[in-house]
Structure 1
Amino acid sequence: MRFISGHLINICLVLVSFIATDLCAKEYLVDNKKAYNKLASTLVAGDTVVLKNGVWNDFEIVLQGQGSKNAPISLTAETKGKVILSGQSNLKLAGEYLHVSGLVFKNGFTPSSAVIEFRVNKDNFAYHSRVTEVVIDNYSNPDKTESDYWVALYGQHNRFDHNHLVGKRNKGVTVAVRLNSEQSQQNHHIIDHNYFGPRPIFGSNGGETLRIGTSHHSLTDSYTLVENNYFDQTNGEVEIISIKSGKNTVRGNVFFEARGTLTMRHGNDNLIEENVFFGNGVDHTGGIRVINKGHTIRNNYMEGLTGFRFGSGFTVMNGVPNSPINRYHQVDGVTIENNTLVNVEHVQLGAGSDAERSAVPINSTLKNNLIINQDNQQPFTTFDDMSGLKFSDNIANTDVLKELAYGIKKEGVELKRGINGLLLPKSNAIKAGVKRDLSVLDKNATGVTWYAKKPAVVAFESGVTHTVKANSNALLAAIEKANSGDVLVLESGQYNIPKIVIVDKTLTIKAKEQSKATITYERSTLFEIHDGGSLKLDGLTITGERSPDYAGNSVVRTKKWGMVENYRFVLINSTVSNLDINHSYSFFMTGKVAFADDVSIINNTFTNVTGDILRLNTEYEDLGIYNAEYVNIKNNQFTDVQGSIVKLYRGGSDESTFGPHLFMSDNQLNNVGLGKRNKDGSSLYAHGVQVTDISSNTIVNSAPIIIEHTVGEPQTAITSNVFDGTQAPSVTELRVKGPHTAKLINNKVK
């Protein structure tokens, strides 16, 4: 095609159509926004606009017009994947039979409420339109708390297919089907063959990957078909798919190592069939959660799922009597049949039962299901009367709860992995469970062929190893030149760093000989982690003796505000001392809205610290937001620390997240937490932490451990610790009446 900037190229096409305007389609090749906007209002059925290859910055595209079934109005790329929409760009469609393909959104964020929106305003929607082979890659608002959608479907009879969406990091649903107008209800949208790539843990409510409807319109039918999509480590929050409307079909999708569940949160009469869940033993991988009326859940396969409570492998919830529209409606008239659960740790029935959620499931059946746990642990937990859920012709390989045994036959079932990749009974006589020829979607059959499906994170020590001479300038230069995943090995000697080191890549810094590379520094912090950064320190000696005489110094901190990408931090085999030049000198400090997938402190020695070791408590507004998912503190020695070993805080009443998780074992604490500025008076302070395991620590002449339980049925175990000259741990229930639920076992208080 010959390129003419901004001008018309006439290409007459013979079309089989009865509409005169379809008989001569026009194709436009444009290279600038002005040219596009000039011709946009002139497009008629059969016309195609081709965007020239290159980067289009701050391009707000409106595609509007009346195409026809045989001659849509099309917008595409000169070469698929070579047209990049960056900066503050977006796409809005309105009219009929519009077709968009081949575009890539990255290096920016939408200036409006959605990146792709099937409407141009509240009155003009898209119908019978299609968006296919479009990529949205990390196109997230830099303000993590600012909410937007990546895709918002309005109108009716639209299709969103074969797209690649990965890395949404700010608040908001990745793809939302909107029912907030009559023109968008009973919509019959099709969402198929999309690759939903890794979505990082959000650390708050608002991280769903797909939502159909909202509670306000949940008694409205949507008739949306969600079919043959691949959900790859979509970990935003407890609801991966959140169905909040009626008469939808979710069929043939694969959930791979995805934390959370396919949730029928609101709405009735949904069909959930032939979906496959592979957890592979990853924490909090879940399956299906059932709420409301009239659903059919059949022929779904679940394997290796570890989730519990609302994120279990299979969950049937209690409802609220006469529930308001935005709470939990009673499970009524639900059929659960011919599903297979293999190595699913938890099947929870009547989940959420409490004084409010007291309406048990009724008029429902669970039949012909196969439940096999190869560790011989039975998975069922009941929280209320389950007589309204009738069991029949189910098979399990373990003894189950007595009240369920009438409808679940115990039988030794030998499994063999079939050609479809599923573990199926060797014997054809076993009729329970999924059909043997259940099709398992191939990841490569989703998304686009021309854009790589990359791992979610760069692993530590996955790149090139560089040796660094004992010179501060050499170290700074090596950090600057390093690529993500690289390892810097420090020769023995002294490194005095005169400026703050910005970490915006995955980087490992380790001593060639343990404890023989010493780092001092002259600014308020040594390392500051920014977006894209993760840091591992190994075998170093770090001292604060040359830091400035200011209060509130640190060794490592995140950017003070505004991070949108999750990070990781690891310190192992190192010695940290003399963080005492002034008060409130902490080892690690998080900035606001910064979120760590993992913070690990293992096999280190800390002495003379006037602040805290880990300060992970900046989210104090009680909105359910927190600063770290996993905190691991193992085999360290802490001596003369005036603050706490860790302050970890998750406030509010939201139940949409799994964390934080705190693990502390085999540590020695001496004179910890007794500083006058340590306001909570603790050696460890955990508020709202969902999983806490504190074991085999020796704590001498220190402040007590303080645990405060809030929502979410937190699991706390404090076992086999020695408290010498230290009070016993304090555990308080802040939202539930009665004694605390923590397990305190085999501890010694001297």
Structure 2
Amino acid sequence: MVAMLVSAAHPALARDLLVTDQAQYKAAVKKAQPGDTIILADGEWRDFQIVFTGAGTAAKPIALTAQTKGKVLVTGQSNLRIAGKFLLVSGLVFKDGASPTDQVISFRRDSRTLASDSRVTEVVIDGYSKTDRRAEDIWVALYGTGNRVDHSHFEGKTNAGVTLAVIRRAGDPLDNGHRIDHNYFGPRPPLGSNGGETIRIGTSEESLSDSHTIVERNIFDRTSGEVEIVSVKSGGNIVRENLVLASQGAFVLRHGNGNLVERNIFFGKGVPDTGGVRIINRDQIVRDNYFEGLAGSSFKSAITVMNGVPNSVINRYHQVANARIEGNSLIDVARITLAAGADAERSAPPVGSKFERNLIVGAKGQDPFRAEGEIGGIAFAGNVQAKVAKPLLGAGVEQREVKLERAANGLLYPADAALAAVGAPRDLKPVTREEVGASWYRGDTPEAAFGTGVTRPIAANASLTQAVADAKAGDTLALATGTYDIAAPLTVQRRLTIAGAKDAKPVLRVASSLARIEGGGGLRLENLAIDASASPGNGALIAVGAGVAPNYSIALDRVSVRGPGKGRLDGITMAPGTFADDVTITNSDFSSMGVVVAATGEQQPKGWYPMERLTISGSRFAGVAMVADILRKGTDESTFGPWFAMAGSSVADSGAGGASLRISGAQHTDIARNSFAKSDGILVIHSVGAPETRIASNAFAATPAPRIEELAWKGPPRGQLVGNVVEARP
């Protein structure tokens, strides 16, 4: 039975309808009238597909709320569909599950019944992600017109799909007039593919019409899903007064014309690939913004002005025309890229555009300007740049000494009063954490990092299997000198360190494989030996299982591994659909085994790849099939990685399939100060974007010279090959 109470807010007509189960909720929705509030009782509402429909009024909306904000948990396979007008949702928390459909909160019931003039406020979606990162959904899908999402908290999306999208379909209203404000968009780790935007407004198909959506005074905190943090694919939108913190990627005016990006504040904090605003299409205005500490380059520069495609189809790159880039401060930025992406296809340079009254201070005293094509169509006037030795630009960019002082608002401005009219305005007011999100909610404590738990001594005659099962997240299992027999793979379901105690020399004797990482797991091995010589091979020492929540880590430090030689025991393998933030190998030895890091499981052409970073240093490889085999397919340019680095290591008597190290599709490759002897060579394959490859100061004895191949680029192979010494095979 639905409990009905007279609402103090609407004493004459409105009712508060308290419901305690799904059947009561459905009954309440049917009888709700303008001014009524449906209240979900505190507790867990599991597998609850909420349909909230009705017709309120501007003065008397129909509301759906929590009995106590933050104490109504919507879990399992749940979602929310809103349809009608003047509806209000507040106080709910979605976590510990994932939507059974492709949307968590949708401003429509079905394709014919949309929401208008409705609002979602103080709602939380935290980690409500599908376990396979390739399974796509949208957390908030805005349809209809005049809707608002505000003071809400979105954090921890790890699967494909936009966090919040304005959906504009042919036949639906396109002049949306939505407002997205005062939200906290919390950490979103790299997806490892295209499709990880935090906000997207429209798609290319309807992009030549205006949406008139406003995105203002939100915080984007480490929202690093892909290169487009905010992807604008429509016209007439305003993106203003947002605060962007250490977020990889940029605000991108991808499609559509006449958008305004103003008074936003970007703090990159030196994080790689942190960018600002990328400009494409006509009549875009980027003014009065503040950029500091942005380390990105190319498409992730502090300011990027793209080259276009002549007579471009709607989903490619329209030529930049009549852009206005005015009154911005670019402080300690690595790059400002003009005519970006110029190539045989993107051959239409910017035209009729202005770059005026901007303040430019390059990182490390360097000139941040780069021109990848013709920039005669950009007029420069009234800009001031901190003096560099050989500036790219002359007229319109004055070189002078610039002394900066940090003002009360936390931003840097020139101390010289004569420069007061250059750069970002002095009245910028960064939005604060207290202003955004749900005031009553803060995300869970981050998962315990390696080594932050307790250290548990494990005697040589103890069961390591039991010790792993008993360990808590962040714990360290400290092994004594002796042999630990691993009859079956250890199941690792939390971040765990297995390490030899100080001065101890433990040996893990493996019958088949060492460990399988399950959901929530991560593994660090330190100061120990692994004897897998008796393994039958045909498997992996450490396997990451299907369905593991993305963004795990694996680290090996001072580890020696002896494989079986026969068969093929690989080192680390990862199932498709999983994703590692980083795999690190330092000061370790590997012999008589297959591929030490086998990362070719993602075979989809969309561009998925299995790990963001692989770093190898100070390690030795002898008689292995390959040191690493990394694959990223596809030609989409919307990812940061993979990153691969190898330094100070040696490879001997190794190789398979013509390579002892094969890196395909990486965006960043740095191979330096290594030695290769009697082995197959290095093969780096470029497939997408503008990859940065350096192969330097390596020694190749009885080993072929390194090769770089291009799959799409029509020119000579790109990359730096410097200081390498190649001794021919005898």
TM-score (norm 1): 0.94
**Structure 1 position 187 matched with structure 2 position 176:** yes
List per-residue Cα deviations over 1:590-619 (Å, max 9, x = no partner). Answer: 21122111111100111222x111101111
Q: Deviations over 1:199-227 (max 9, x none)?
A: 11110111111000000010111111101
Shift of 1:450: 2.1
Q: Secondary structure at the match of 1:683?
A: strand
Q: Deviations over 1:712-746 (max 9, x none)?
A: 12111111111111111122122122321121111
Residue 252 (structure 2) pairs with residue 263 (structure 1): yes
3-state DSSP class of the match of 1:375?
A: helix
2-structure distance, mates of 1:283, 1:482: 34
Which amino acid is 2:77 matched to?
A: Q
Q: List per-residue Cα deviations over 1:236-257 (Å, max 9, x = no partner).
A: 1110000000111101111111
**Range moving further from structure 2, 174-183 or 129-138:** 174-183
Q: C-alpha displacement at 1:42, in angstroms?
A: 1.4
CA distance in 1, matches of 2:672, 2:247: 29
Q: Please name the residue that 1:576 is paired with.
A: 561
1:176 aligns with 2:165: yes
**What CA distance in whole angstroms lies between the structure 1 residues aligned with 2:560 and 2:484?**
15
CA contact (8 A) 1:472 1:497 kept: no
CA contact (8 A) 2:450 2:524 kept: yes
User: Cα deviation per residue 1:462-495 (whole Å; 9 max; x = unaligned)?
Assistant: 222222222342x333322322222221122221
Counterpart pick for 2:438 among 434, 437, 448: 448
**What does residue 708 of structure 2 align with?**
731
Structure 2 distance, partners of 1:492, 1:449, is 52
The residue aligned with 1:605 is 589
Q: For residues 620 and 462 of structure 2, what CA distance do their matches in structure 1 show?
A: 28
CA distance in 2 between counterparts of 1:206 and 1:262 reads 15
1:139-164 per-residue CA deviation (whole Å, 9 max, x = no partner) reads: 11223222111000011111100111
Alignment partners' CA distance in 2, 1:178 and 1:246: 14
For residues 400 and 348 of structure 1, what CA distance do their matches in structure 2 show? 19
Q: Which amino acid aligns with 1:497?
A: I
User: C-alpha offsets along residues 529-582 of structure 1, whole Å, 9 cap, x if unaligned?
Assistant: 1221111111011111343x2x412211100x33342111100011111333x4
Q: Does 1:356 align with 2:345?
A: yes
Distance 1:112 1:248 in 2: 29
Please name the residue that 1:460 is paired with.
450
CA 1:374–1:307 in structure 2 vs 1: closer, same or farther (change >3 Å)? closer
For residues 202 and 244 of structure 1, the distance between their equivalents in structure 2, rounded to whole angstroms, comes to 21
Say whether the 8 Å CA contact 1:511–1:538 is kept in structure 2: yes
1:155-170 alignment to 2 at 5 Å? Answer: 155-170=144-159
1:661 aligns with 2:643: yes
Give the share of equivalent positions with the same residue, in percent: 43
- 8 Å CA contact 1:515, 1:575 repeated in 2: no
Give the structure 2 partner of residue 536 of structure 1: 524
Instruction: For residues 299-357 of structure 1, give each alpha carbon's deviation from its aligned partner in whole angstroms, at most 9, with x where no partner exists.
Output: 11111111111111210001111111111111111111110011110110000111111
Question: CA separation in 2, counterparts of 1:43 and 1:661?
Answer: 55
Kept in 1, the 8 Å contact 2:106–2:142? The answer is yes
Are 2:105 and 2:141, in contact at CA under 8 Å, matched by a contact in 1? Answer: yes
Match of 2:688 in 1: 711
Picking from 639, 643, 647, the partner of 2:629 is 647
Asked if the contact 1:624/1:652 (under 8 Å) is kept, the reply is: yes
Where does structure 1 lack aligned partners over 5 or more consecutive residues? Answer: 1-5, 16-21
Cα 1:246–1:400 change in 2 (3 A) is farther
In structure 2, the residue matched to 1:624 is: 607
Question: Which residue of 1 is the match for residue 661 of structure 2?
Answer: 684
How many Å separate the matches in 2 of 1:401 and 1:219? 41
User: Is the contact made by 1:134 and 1:164 (CA closer than 8 Å) also made in structure 2?
Assistant: yes
Deviations 1:274-305 (A, max 9, x none): 11111111111111100011111111111111
The CA distance in 2 between the partners of 1:448 and 1:743, in whole Å, is 49
Q: For 1:638, which of 603, 612, 621 is the aligned residue?
A: 621
Task: Tell me the SS of whatever aligns to 1:647.
Answer: strand
Which deviates more, 396-405 or 98-107? 396-405
Out of 658, 663, 674, which is 1:697 matched to? Answer: 674
C-alpha displacement at 1:622, in angstroms? 2.7
- Show structure 2 runs of 5+ residues with no match: none
Per mean C-alpha deviation after superposition, the further-off stretch among 533-542 and 480-489 is: 480-489
Shift of 1:706: 1.2
With over 3 angstroms needed to count, the CA separation of the structure-2 counterparts of 1:723 and 1:188, relative to structure 1, is same
- Asked whether 1:592 is paired with 2:576, we answer yes
Kindly report which structure 2 residues correspond to 1:495-506, keeping only aligned pairs within 5 A, or say none.
495-506=484-495
Structure 1 runs (4+) greater than 4 angstroms displaced = 12-15, 400-403, 454-457
The yes-or-no answer on 1:558 pairing with 2:558 is: no
**Worse-superposed segment, 491-500 or 90-99:** 491-500
Task: State how far apart, in whole Å, the 2-side matches of 1:425 and 1:148 are.
Answer: 45
Q: Where does residue 77 of structure 1 map in the other structure? A: 66
Number of the residue aligned with 1:439: 429
The corresponding residue for 1:19 is none
Aligned CA-pair RMSD: 1.6
1:658-692: CA deviation from partner (whole Å, max 9, x where unpaired): 1111101111111111xxxx3x2211011111111
Counterpart code for 2:717: H
Distance, in Å, in 2 between the alignment partners of 1:413 and 1:622 is 48
The CA deviation string for residues 394-427 of structure 1, in whole angstroms up to 9 with x for no partner, is 0001338766210100111111111111111122
Q: By how many angstroms is 1:181 displaced?
A: 4.4
Partner in structure 2 of residue 220 of structure 1: 209
Q: 1:443 offset after TM fit, Å?
A: 2.2
CA deviations 1:98-137 (Å, max 9, x no partner) are 1111101111111222100011011111111110111111
For 1:600-649, what per-residue CA distance to the aligned partner results, in whole angstroms no more than 9, with x for missing partners? 1100111222x1111011112332111111111111111222x1000011
When residues 99 and 270 of structure 1 are mapped into structure 2, their CA distance, relative to the original with a 3 A threshold, is same
On the 8 A contact 2:224/2:247 being kept in 1, the answer is yes
Looking at structure 2, the residues matched to 205 and 527 of structure 1 have their Cα atoms a distance apart, in angstroms, of: 31
2: CA distance, partners of 1:242 / 1:14: 40
CA distance in 1, matches of 2:341, 2:7: 64
Cα distance in 2, alignment partners of residues 536 and 465 from structure 1: 14
Partners of 2:445 and 2:245 lie apart in 1 by 13
Q: 5 Å matches for 1:273-422?
A: 273-373=262-362, 375-399=364-388, 404-422=393-411
Separation in 1 of the partners of 2:690 and 2:22?
54
Could you tell me whether the CA contact under 8 Å between 2:221 and 2:247 is conserved in 1?
yes
Write the letter of the residue equivalent to 1:494.
Answer: T
SS at match of 2:364: coil
Q: Which of 49, 59, 65 is the equivalent residue of 2:54? A: 65
Question: Counterparts of 1:131 and 1:737 in 2: how far apart (Å)?
Answer: 49
Q: Using the alignment, how far apart are the partners of 1:494 and 1:103 within structure 2?
A: 52
Amino acid of the residue matched to residue 533 of structure 1? G
Change (3 A) 1:620 1:655: same
CA contact (8 A) 1:156 1:183 kept: no
Question: Contact 2:103–2:137 at 8 Å: present in 1 too?
Answer: yes
Mapping for residues 450-529 of structure 1, pairs under 5 Å: 450-453=440-443, 458-473=448-463, 475-513=464-502, 516-522=505-511, 524-529=512-517
Please give the alpha-carbon distance, in whole angstroms, between the structure 2 residues aligned to 1:380 and 1:455.
41
How far, CA to CA, are the matches of 2:60 and 2:234 in structure 1? 33
Cα separation, partners in 2 of 1:648 and 1:69, compared to 1, 3 Å? same
Is the partner of 1:310 in helix, strand or coil?
Answer: helix
Tell me if structure 1 keeps the 8 A contact 2:520–2:548: no
